[in-house]
Amino acid sequence: MEMPAGTIKKLVSDRGFGFIAAEDGKEYFFHRSSTEGNFDRLQGGEKVSFEIESSPKGPRAKTVRIV
């Protein structure tokens, strides 16, 4: 199964989270603990792939990888 893809829209590095603008037109929250690799190396505008999981606040990204 192919993972959704998108672009890092916003990073809040000091708080450890960000948002992905997905190719499906939706925006997904992600936490630093859901990234594969070093969160601190992510940059706005970077292309990523990810999985989607449910959370109490709605869908969010997990297993975020730079592509």
What is the set of domains in the chain, with CATH numbers? 5-66 (2.40.50.140)
Distance (Å, whole) CA 13 – CA 23: 23
- What global pTM score does this model have? 0.92
CB 50 within 8 A of CB 4: yes
> Residues 8-25: pLDDT tens digits?
999 999 999 999 999 999
> Residues 25-60: pLDDT tens digits?
999 999 999 999 889 889 999 999 999 999 999 999
> pLDDT band for position 7 (50/70/90)?
very high
* Residue 51: how many other CB atoms lie within 10 Å: 14
